[in-house]
Amino acid sequence: MSKILKIFVSYWWQIILLLGGLCLQVFSSLSLPDIMSDIINNGIGKSDMDYVWAEGFRMLGIVLIGMVGMVIAGFFASRIATGFAAKLREALFRHILSFSVDEIDRFSTASLITRTTNDITSLQQTLVMVLRMSLQAPLMAVGAISMALATAPSMAWIIGLVVSVLVVLIVVIIVVGMPKFRLTQQLNDKLNQVARENLTGLRVVRAFNNEDYEEKKFQRANTEVAKVNLFTSRLMVTMMPVVQFAISGAALLIVWVGANLVAESVIGLGEIVAFMQYATQVMMSFMFLAMAFILIPRALVSIKRVGEVLKTSPSIKFKDEPTKTADESGLEFHKVSFSYKNAEKPVLENVSFKAEKGKITAIIGSTGSGKSTIVNLIPRFYDVSEGEILLDGVNIKNFSKDDLMARIGLVPQKALLFSGTIESNIKYGAPNISDKQLREAARIAAASEFIEKLDKKYRSRVSQSGSNFSGGQKQRLSIARAIAKNPEVYVFDDSFSALDYKTDSQVRANLKEVTENSAVIIVAQRVSTIRHADQIIVLENGKTVGIGTHAELMKKCDVYKEIALSQLSEKELK
């Protein structure tokens, strides 16, 4: 909440100008009924047209002042709300980027998207209403009540009666509407999640001919949102007739009571007209407040949801300053254990190995053995539960974020490309490399052969998630992205799985050209990919069951031998 308030307060001088505009507008609105009363009593009543013209021009001047105030208030209300939303969205997105995988999982991707878009948009719309009308309403209400009492105190009870009705209406709206507004945001999260899941998995849905099932699932989520929105819309729609009835009823009472008072010569006709206008201003002010009280509960829900994200501190903390390394020894896992939250047993247990620079270290094991967990621990997507990971003799927890990430070139299991061009994707981690270095990275990753066939070559368009490229092409572009970075540690998480054997062999041969001074870690399922590694780590149920070369493990590690023989024949393994 403090961050949200800090962003809002940064617009303090614009808020002051907005209040100035509102004051001009309120002054204009409150002055006109009194002038109208004088025109009726002293001008029309006495047939003094000069007085009517003089007061008429005075009214025109005051109207112009009110119009200027309205323009000022409207301009700064929109400017403040838009700027506030933009800054808050930027702050929220930047904060989300600092989250570890734990925080992302806690909120869910769908919810974070909704909070960044839908919730902040709701805040922006409410802020415009509050700044433009709700700030004006109290000023107008207090001023109009004071002027009405001064004009015709004998009819003050009419305003009191109508205001009481409106206050009851506002309270009912708050009590009934608040839970529904909270539920609306939760259901929007759910709807967003269902839509995102279906669009992401569209090919799987079609492959299993489950469009009808997914449509029904989306329809259920959509219907829930529609029902709640329909209820809140009905609540808002109901308010307008009630307020209109109160205004009309008040006008009727004023005319009826006022007629008797005029007949008894207690007050003049001008005072009745002025009192009616002041009463209308009072009721309109309460109507604006009622509209604000409808929107504010929803905005409070959005503020709470955005605040929950902003006040969540990342569980993984990085140092602010870069750290000098002790040596050039490479990457070392020293008695590392790791458990996910609420897990019954560790995913990794007492894992130790060293990936030296200039050598290739491969990791293999059955599904669920902990291979990908090791990959996630190296760039600190998660932190180890026990033990430590050393990079050039220094615990990776002692590196700054920029320093650590600059030393690691990660090629994830699922090749992910960003919308843009081939060039922007390869340069993603090294934006300042030359065109020669760009082409060299693509050549080493065996990507240049298909890039050169494209019409725009490296300027060719990449769709979101790289959907206009095949799986093998996306993997090669991801490998080129890591090579362009020229890191100290290369981490390939099953990054050759979509490559044919010829391309796989070609890429691994090319990598030797650029990894002489880097540690290379390859996580793979295929024995053919890692059989020529300098050392192979064999995992089973989160434990190290073998370390050695291919030939050594075939002799002494039954787990590795079983994996190898399930993929290749004994003749091919020699």
Domains (range + CATH), the chain: 2-310 (1.20.1560.10), 331-573 (3.40.50.300)
Non-local CB neighbours of 546 within 8 Å, separated by 6+ positions: 536, 537, 538, 553, 556, 557, 559, 560
**So what's the pLDDT on residue 3?**
77
The mean pLDDT value of the chain amounts to 81
* DSSP β-bridge partners for residue 514: none
pLDDT at 191 over 80: no
**So what's the pLDDT on residue 321?**
76
pLDDT higher for 20 or 56?
A: 20
**So what's the pLDDT on residue 224?**
82
Q: What is the mean pLDDT of residues 477-503?
A: 84
Which region among 211-220, 286-295, 396-405 has the lowest average model confidence (pLDDT)?
286-295
pLDDT, tens only, 307-352: 888 888 888 888 877 777 777 778 888 888 888 877 778 888 888 8
**So what's the pLDDT on residue 508?**
81
pLDDT at 34 over 70: yes
pLDDT, tens only, 253-276: 777 877 777 777 667 677 777 777
Non-local CB neighbours of 431 within 8 Å, separated by 6+ positions: none
**So what's the pLDDT on residue 266?**
67
574: confidence class by pLDDT, cuts 50, 70, 90: low
pLDDT, tens only, 436-477: 888 888 888 888 888 888 888 888 888 877 778 888 888 888
pLDDT at 80 over 80: yes
**Exposed, middle or buried by CB within 10 Å (0-12, 13-18, 19+), for 538?**
buried
pTM (two decimals): 0.72
Q: What is the mean pLDDT of residues 106-130?
A: 82
111: confidence class by pLDDT, cuts 50, 70, 90: confident
pLDDT at 134 over 80: no
Q: For 494, left (φ over 0), alpha (ψ -120 to 50), or beta?
A: left
- 164 three-state secondary structure: helix
**Whole-angstrom Cα distance, residue 155 to residue 254?**
7
